[in-house]
């Protein structure tokens, strides 16, 4: 652990209930003023850098690279060119007329499912791949849960000419088989992780072990706004394109800002990318929807913001699902991309300030949202995105007539093996 990156958390490690109203206001003011992350990589009490000594130089090189290149005009010009000409940006903002009628609200979808490789993950992957090349990396390692980040990483590495190894939990490889094939077609080596919970957490563990063993020539292309500084900041900056586009598009098409914006939250990259440009707009409510799994008991869900406590995981101090002994718990969700026991530190800050409300939608709600979106709008959403749809529908029921902007983070083609066993089987039974 880097001692210089390990100050005592400003608000202690006890519980968010101990934060006073004055502290919340101070944190919110600092946040909208752009003071987070600070020089220690913290978002108030959250974030920081808790990593093995062998990875400190790699993180410091990355931090220096982010400071040098992220605002560099030539880097930005190349990134914007790739986003426009290769990744398919800007993505559409689609009005959803039938959902609007059913919900009694005005519903709009930010269509990250239309981005190259089928999700928001490409925004981050191509940005980090371009950065890795400038940092002299010889190979890329990445982790993936739902497979979308793995596919995006494989595609981005093919684009920039770097070899790519993707670690994926054995359980996720089974339930997201189409994406495993796509990664291999794109030239990536896919490594099955059979240790731990065999899902996203275990995949991150193995990718980090690879990085520890090969810290000099390897670049770890982290897929979400989690991990040690500067990853949460870097991923947020690369995903801000979602919210910036959506803000402009919504004002042009709806003539005003939305009343609420809604996104699913696992690690939290699509959500922070959508939320951040609206944080300073007090008229816009913000709602993050986590994976409620099969219940709200420990081990039954993947909802650390709704039912977790602060702790350290994968290099960052944030909200986690752990027991009284501090042991990280296995998670449960029908959605592989949300099946993670932690969350990005900036989301923990947003929870602490009260600026964002976080709730959970369970597996059955997500499946019902998939069915409704398909039948009403002709759009097959990812199971991750379906959680946002379920949460938005719940919000609409108590806020009739309001304007709702939903982040549709990805498409559901990758979920067909899971949907075949659940929703499609139900539909077949109903039609027989």
CA distance 342 to 361: 17
pLDDT at 15 (0 to 100): 52
Reported as a single tens digit per residue, the pLDDT across 237-278 is: 999 999 999 999 999 999 999 999 999 999 999 999 999 999
Axis crossing angle, helix 363-377 with helix 423-431, rounded to the nearest 10: 60
pLDDT for residue 5: 39
Catalytic residues: 121, 143, 409
Strand partners for 322: 328
Residue 324 has pLDDT above 60, yes or no: yes
Instruction: Say whether pLDDT at 4 is over 60.
Output: no
Asked if pLDDT for residue 399 goes beyond 60, the answer is yes
Q: What is the DSSP string of 288-310?
A: EEEEEET-SSTTS-B-HHHH-EE
Environment class of residue 413 by beta-carbon count within 10 Å: exposed (0-12), middle (13-18) or buried (19+)?
A: middle
Burial 277-310 (b: 16+ CB within 10 A, else e): bbbeeeebbbbbbbbbbeeeebebbbbbbbbbbb
pLDDT in tens, 93-104: 999 999 999 999
> What's the pLDDT tens digit per position in 140-199?
999 999 899 999 999 999 999 999 999 999 999 998 889 999 999 999 999 999 998 898
Residue 8 has pLDDT above 80, yes or no: no
| Total residues found in the chain within this entry | 432
Model confidence at 128, pLDDT cuts 50, 70, 90, reads very high
Report the SS3 class of residue 127. helix
Residue 13: pLDDT above 70? no
Q: Which of 223, 216, 230, 208 is nearest to 66 (CA)?
A: 230
Write down the mean pLDDT value for the chain.
94
Q: Is there a contact between 380 and 374 (Cβ–Cβ < 8 Å)?
A: yes
Paired with 143 in beta bridges are 167
- Closest by Cα among 250, 310, 353, 317 to 32: 353
Domains of the chain: 24-40+89-118+239-430 (3.40.50.1100), 47-85+121-220 (3.40.50.1100)
Among residues 128, 123, 5, the alpha carbon closest in space to that of 60 is found at 5
What would the two tokens of residue 102 be? 């059913």
Give whole-number Cα distances, 272 to 79, 147, 161, 202, 390, in Å.
Answer: 20, 20, 29, 23, 19
Contact 331, 204 (CB under 8 A): no
Neighbour order of strands in the sheet with 357-362: 93-95, 106-111, 403-408, 260-264, 285-293, 357-362
**Distance (Å, whole) CA 150 – CA 166:** 6
Half-sphere exposure of 113 (CA within 13 A, CB side): 22
Closest among 344, 311, 320, 330 to 227, alpha carbons compared: 344
pTM: 0.95
- Distance from C-alpha of 281 to C-alpha of 22, rounded to nearest angstrom: 20
Checking phi first, is residue 13 left (phi over 0); if not, alpha (psi -120 to 50) or beta? alpha
Does the structure show a pLDDT above 70 at 106? Answer: yes
pLDDT of residue 211: 94
Is the CB of residue 378 less than 8 Å from the CB of residue 411? Answer: no
């Amino acid at each position: 652990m880097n001692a210089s990156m390990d100050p005592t958390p400003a608000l202690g490690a006890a519980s968010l209930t101990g934060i006073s109203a004055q502290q919340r206001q101070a944190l919110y003011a600092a946040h909208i003023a752009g003071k987070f992350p600070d020089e220690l990589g913290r978002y108030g009490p959250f974030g920081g850098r808790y990593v093995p000594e062998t990875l400190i130089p790699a993180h410091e090189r990355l931090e220096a690279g982010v400071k040098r290149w992220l605002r560099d005009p030539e880097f930005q010009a190349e990134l914007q060119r790739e986003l426009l000409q290769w990744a398919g940006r800007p993505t559409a903002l689609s009005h959803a007329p039938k959902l609007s009628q059913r919900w009694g609200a005005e519903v709009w979808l930010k269509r990250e499912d239309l981005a190259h490789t089928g999700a928001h993950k490409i925004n981050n992957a191509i940005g980090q791949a371009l950065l890795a090349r400038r940092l002299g990396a010889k190979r890329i390692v990445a982790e993936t849960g739902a497979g979308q980040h793995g596919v995006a990483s494989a595609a981005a590495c093919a684009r920039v000419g770097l070899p790519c190894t993707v670690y994926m939990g054995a359980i996720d490889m089974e339930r997201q088989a189409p994406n495993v094939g796509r990664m291999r077609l794109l030239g990536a080596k896919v490594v099955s992780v059979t240790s731990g919970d065999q899902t996203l957490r275990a995949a991150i563990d193995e990718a980090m072990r690879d990085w520890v063993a090969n810290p000099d020539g390897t670049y770890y292309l982290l897929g979400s706004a989690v991990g040690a500084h500067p990853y949460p900041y870097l991923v947020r900056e690369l995903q801000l394109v979602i919210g910036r586009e959506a803000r402009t598009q919504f004002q042009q098409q709806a003539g005003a800002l939305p009343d609420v914006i809604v996104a699913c939250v696992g690690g939290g990259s699509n959500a922070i990318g959508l939320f951040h440009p609206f944080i300073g707009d007090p008229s816009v409510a913000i709602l993050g929807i986590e994976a409620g799994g099969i219940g709200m008991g420990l081990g039954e869900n993947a909802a650390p913001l709704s039912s977790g406590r602060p702790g350290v995981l994968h290099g960052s101090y944030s909200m986690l699902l752990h027991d009284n002994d501090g042991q990280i718990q296995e998670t449960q969700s029908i959605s592989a991309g949300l099946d993670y026991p932690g969350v990005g530190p900036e989301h923990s800050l947003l929870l602490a300030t009260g600026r964002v409300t976080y709730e959970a939608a369970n597996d059955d709600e997500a499946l019902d949202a998939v069915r409704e979106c398909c039948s009403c709008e002709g759009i097959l959403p990812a199971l991750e995105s379906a959680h946002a749809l379920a949460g938005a529908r719940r919000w609409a029921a108590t806020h009739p007539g309001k304007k709702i902007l939903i982040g549709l983070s990805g498409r559901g083609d990758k979920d067909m093996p899971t949907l075949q066993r659940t929703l499609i089987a139900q539909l077949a039974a109903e039609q027989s």
